[in-house]
Structure 1
Amino acid sequence: MDRMTRRGLMQGAGAMAMITTPLGAGARARTAPLAQPRVGRYRGLREGGVMAFKGIRYGRAARFARAVPEPFSGPEQDATQFGPLCPQRGMAEAPQSEDCLFLNVWTPDAHAAARRAVMVYFHGGAYANGSVTDPLTHGSHLAAGGDVVVVSVNHRLGPLGYAWLRPLDAQAADSGNLGQLDLILALQWVRDHIAAFGGDPSRVMVFGQSGGGAKIATLMAMPAARGLFHAAATMSGQQVQASGPGHALARTRAWMARLGLGDDGVAALRAMPIARLIDALDTPDPIMGGSLYFGPVLDMTNLPRHPFWPDAAPQSLDIPMILGNVHDETRAFLDPRGPKLAGLTWDNLPQRIAAEVKIDLDPQWVVAQYRANAPEWSAEQIYYAATTAGRSWPGQVIEADARAAASAQATWVYQLDRPSPRDPLRGAAHTDDIPYVFGTLDAPGSYSGTDAQARALSATMMAAFSGLARSGRPGLADWAPYRLPARATMVFDAAPHMADDPRGWQRRLWATAPYVQPGS
């Protein structure tokens, strides 16, 4: 399969054009004169031709305790502003609060009879940062263009969501996975209430980029999440293994020590100002170095097994799934204009690669393999190819292969190759698939451009994702499922096409040693 047929591509993009134009123009013409939209007690607004309901509370939680659901009925509530973010380092310009369990809904038509497929988005930022207030992930374009209901979710992050305190305090029984349990609570809210917003609770797809994808992979091994979603898509986000409880406890103790606390200090943690808890995250990670990691914990109750080790979690095998990565992942965070690239030479290339990858191979040997297989590549090209293939991509390969080996419900894999037209040094970097899927090409932070090629690719990717939500299959007729040994992959570029194992020699190179999941 070398090329996606023009007929198949036009079926996907053409379908999106048919959806986008009438819905966008018609919805605006039909709804503009109407009053502020309401669903139950929630008073929303009109945005981009659809109805938007922002800052809907789905739960409440005490510190280090499992959240409880928020009643759907009650006094009238304004739903025109995003809720606060979970406290985190950075993003100081956005309101932050421990009281952060809010979600947002965009819908073309808030009537129970509409029963549109639902797409629930979990944000990136690993398990420590991020939010769904980013303009790249606003849902109005996707709701209108994909003819779906879009939901985005904030939840607890960092130590509030993932500090492993159960060994130190029996009252913290669910700590280590509270952030995941927040997402499950949000999905229960969707199950119980999305029909009032025009959604179909029997067709719920979760999708997420980077850390959002990792959260989805983890949910696929959590018994409490079973049945809450019916399709999934991960974008540059994988979770092969969770954090082991021993490593998780070492990280929690390092964080508490930074606060001047020992094993008996959990009560003090509960009373401490939140700013101090967040400031203490500057302590180094005792397991892997670098920034202190908090993430899902193999606690044997809420998470009784690793998501994709030694195989794909059996409960996830009946869920159709898209897995994707971008071609030049690490160009987003290993700045080609920054110090890590300054003075790069063939002599220091091996050491610089070794500092960034998660697979322990002799870096001299790695560089020799790259130079033999791609003799025309520069040292910089090899640096980014190797750090992407040895750090940001192998988890996706492991997950896709595990699903294929288990004969799971169909899996589809993509690779975004279209380079940014705005920054010639960026290539197709981490996060660059977000604006194509959401249709937010002109949003702050987008590198996609707004030219005809960008619009066509956005229509194609939006059709693919919304099609999975509607029918359990991507909305592109010629996107073949991923099976072994072919490893059929959709390459999203100027001319989207199918390719078998498009980076096969790099995949085989890095498969000669085990992948170390960050945080495990």
Structure 2
Amino acid sequence: MQPDPVAQTRAGAVRGVRHEYGEHYRAIPYAAAPVGRARFAAPAPHPGWSGVRDATQPSPTAPQPVREFAGLDMAPYFGPGWVPGEEYLTVNIHTPSAGDPALPVMVYVHGGGSVSGTGGAALYDGRAFARDGVVLVTLNYRIGIPGFLDLEGAPANRGLRDVLAALGWVRDNIAAFGGDRDNVTVFGQSAGATLIGALLATPEATGLFRRAIIQSGSGTGAFTPEQAQRVTSAASAALGVAPTADAFAAIPDDRLLEILPKLTGLDLRTETVADPLAGLSPFSLVLPRQPADSLTNGPAAEVDLLIGTNTEEGRLYLGPYDDLDNSTYADVLTTAAHIHLDPHAAVEALTARYPGASAGELRSALLGQALFEAGTKRLLEAHARLSGGHTHAYRFGYRSTAMRGRLGATHTIELPFVFDLADEPWLHGPTGLLGPQAPPPYLAAQVHGAWVAFAHTGNPGWSAHRAGSPTVRHFGPCP
């Protein structure tokens, strides 16, 4: 029997476990624990350790609220919720072998509305990537108030800074796990994908990755400073403290979580911009310009990009609550008012585009366009103009049979196929994300295979998307 594998990082040695496709290392710190005042500071290097650190057990997770979707098991996506512990700025690694020659590396950034999630969630199991010759890294980052609330005396966008720190750790350490530091693909979904869009426009990200995959993110999902200050003012009032890092540092994490309901649903519309998150989350990046309009500031021109959305993104926010069936035209206008400066014109245009659609279907389409599709299109087109043939687009249309088909090709539904987990029993059954009907067996092979090919070569298997000659690869039946 072979001994457990040991890898040497710059901070110290770590011991993992073997599995049928390689080796697995968990909870390796990439930065110092964010405790006390450090919760609102830039990530700092980890001080290291002596001896061999156990890397076989799951990491603590970032402080986060419980999130439930009526009748739908989203635990595979969100993970176990808040698992308290100081050292949660960690990475998990699946590798074919730490002794292998340099292999492509994929670094995954989880979603969760910038308020929940973990890189250790069941949906992000990396065994299939290790099986196919890729080193898979998943990570945790600060979310919610510690990660994104804009505070005097604290650097902005601390969650994004954590991702940058994790990518720096990968650059410095991934060779010890068989990875090629010069062939890193960063990929993510939802809020994680939006962070990756920001990385493309961030100067400090230059040289940290060669390729990027953006799944159901947005290049226009950032708050303006004015919008961010409205959230900060509400949080400050709810806690009864000054809106400064020093004041918030004295508040325990559980109290920061208690006030989150008072922040959700704030009116963030201004005279010139709507709420890019449609009132669903009070946390996002805080930027003077949207990433889609700032790509020349970062490494985007030198980065291969694979980007796309699902065909019915908005159903996740309506289907579990019967809102697809029970919405009224007034509900459609209310939704439109969150995300459009002229809601009546927006609804008229959408009704013309989808004649005969129900009120619930119109609300779903409004949410999907505002949260993901419009910002994805803008980022796609901006990168295609800039990169000259290094942009690939996809559209995912497989419809889940969960909740009597009400989920459809909703937000998150591509993830089991990306990670080649679509046959797992916990994704099926009465409350499973994919529903009772098994998807076609070839679909996971197609999607996962395209992601692996892109990580190897920058070509997922179809033509690049160019201005004037758009090419989109459709997975599953796409209308």
Higher relative contact order (CA 8 A, sep 6+): 1
Q: Could you tell me whether the CA contact under 8 Å between 1:432 and 1:448 is conserved in 2? A: yes
Distance change >3 Å, CA 427–CA 322, structure 1 → 2 = same
Match of 1:283 among 242, 248, 262: 262
SS of 1:325's equivalent in the other structure is strand
Matched with 2:17 is 45
247-256 vs 130-139, greater mean Cα deviation: 247-256
- Mapped to 1, the partners of 2:237 and 2:455 lie a distance apart of 46
Q: Post-superposition shift, 1:294?
A: 2.5
Matched with 1:411 is 391
SS of 2:293's equivalent in the other structure is coil
SS of 1:470's equivalent in the other structure is helix
- Mapped to 1, the partners of 2:267 and 2:350 lie a distance apart of 32
Q: Does 1:457 align with 2:443?
A: yes
Q: Post-superposition shift, 1:329?
A: 0.4
- Mapped to 1, the partners of 2:82 and 2:318 lie a distance apart of 25
- Mapped to 1, the partners of 2:379 and 2:434 lie a distance apart of 27
SS of 1:120's equivalent in the other structure is strand
Q: Post-superposition shift, 1:409?
A: 5.0
Distance change >3 Å, CA 90–CA 98, structure 1 → 2 = farther
| Letter of the 2:463 counterpart | A
Matched with 2:73 is none
SS of 1:147's equivalent in the other structure is coil
Rg larger in structure = 1
Q: Could you tell me whether the CA contact under 8 Å between 1:241 and 1:308 is conserved in 2? A: no
Q: Post-superposition shift, 1:266?
A: 3.8
Q: Post-superposition shift, 1:450?
A: 9.7
Match of 2:120 among 133, 139, 143: 133
Matched with 2:75 is none
Matched with 1:36 is 4
Q: Post-superposition shift, 1:390?
A: 4.0
Matched with 2:333 is 351
Q: Could you tell me whether the CA contact under 8 Å between 1:87 and 1:97 is conserved in 2? A: no
Matched with 1:7 is none
Q: Post-superposition shift, 1:493?
A: 0.9
Structure 1 segment 395-474 matched on structure 2, within 5 A: 395-408=375-388, 410-423=390-403, 424-441=405-422, 442=424, 444-445=426-427, 447-448=433-434, 454-474=440-460
| Letter of the 1:427 counterpart | G
Match of 2:283 among 294, 299, 309: 294
Q: Could you tell me whether the CA contact under 8 Å between 2:16 and 2:23 is conserved in 1? A: yes
- Mapped to 1, the partners of 2:237 and 2:356 lie a distance apart of 50
Q: Post-superposition shift, 1:103?
A: 0.6
Distance change >3 Å, CA 151–CA 443, structure 1 → 2 = farther
Q: Does 1:118 align with 2:94?
A: no
SS of 1:317's equivalent in the other structure is helix
Q: Could you tell me whether the CA contact under 8 Å between 2:194 and 2:218 is conserved in 1? A: yes
Matched with 1:65 is 41
SS of 1:392's equivalent in the other structure is helix
Structure 1 segment 233-382 matched on structure 2, within 5 A: 233-240=213-220, 242-263=222-243, 266-284=245-263, 285=266, 287-288=268-269, 290=279, 293-298=282-287, 306-309=290-293, 313=297, 315-335=299-319, 338-344=321-327, 347-348=329-330, 350-351=332-333, 353-354=335-336, 358-363=339-344, 366=346, 368-370=348-350, 372-375=352-355, 377-382=357-362
Q: Post-superposition shift, 1:463?
A: 1.4
- Mapped to 1, the partners of 2:470 and 2:417 lie a distance apart of 24
SS of 1:308's equivalent in the other structure is helix
Q: Post-superposition shift, 1:296?
A: 2.2
Structure 1 segment 475-486 matched on structure 2, within 5 A: 476=461, 479-486=462-469
- Mapped to 2, the partners of 1:435 and 1:56 lie a distance apart of 25
Match of 2:51 among 75, 80, 95: 75
Q: Could you tell me whether the CA contact under 8 Å between 2:61 and 2:81 is conserved in 1? A: no
- Mapped to 1, the partners of 2:56 and 2:102 lie a distance apart of 23
Runs (5+) with no aligned partner, structure 1: 1-32, 300-304, 495-501, 504-520
For residues 188-227 of structure 1, give each alpha carbon's deviation from its aligned partner in whole angstroms, at most 9, with x where no partner exists: 1111111111111010000001011011011112221110
Matched with 1:56 is 28
- Mapped to 2, the partners of 1:204 and 1:461 lie a distance apart of 19
Matched with 1:193 is 173
Match of 2:139 among 129, 153, 156: 153
148-157 vs 217-226, greater mean Cα deviation: 217-226
Match of 1:96 among 84, 91, 115: 84
Q: Post-superposition shift, 1:317?
A: 1.4
SS of 1:412's equivalent in the other structure is strand
For residues 413-466 of structure 1, give each alpha carbon's deviation from its aligned partner in whole angstroms, at most 9, with x where no partner exists: 111111114442221110011110101211634634798854311111111111
Q: Could you tell me whether the CA contact under 8 Å between 2:394 and 2:472 is conserved in 1? A: yes
- Mapped to 1, the partners of 2:209 and 2:238 lie a distance apart of 39
SS of 1:104's equivalent in the other structure is strand
CA RMSD of aligned residues (A): 2.7
- Mapped to 2, the partners of 1:39 and 1:324 lie a distance apart of 36
Identity percentage of aligned residues: 31
Divergent runs of 4+, >6 A: 449-452
Distance change >3 Å, CA 399–CA 257, structure 1 → 2 = same
Q: Could you tell me whether the CA contact under 8 Å between 1:38 and 1:44 is conserved in 2? A: yes
- Mapped to 1, the partners of 2:43 and 2:216 lie a distance apart of 28
- Mapped to 2, the partners of 1:123 and 1:322 lie a distance apart of 17
Distance change >3 Å, CA 50–CA 428, structure 1 → 2 = same
TM-score using structure 2 length: 0.84
| Letter of the 2:209 counterpart | F
Structure 1 segment 193-212 matched on structure 2, within 5 A: 193-212=173-192
Matched with 1:9 is none
- Mapped to 1, the partners of 2:392 and 2:120 lie a distance apart of 28
- Mapped to 1, the partners of 2:81 and 2:213 lie a distance apart of 30
- Mapped to 2, the partners of 1:370 and 1:245 lie a distance apart of 30
Matched with 1:108 is 96
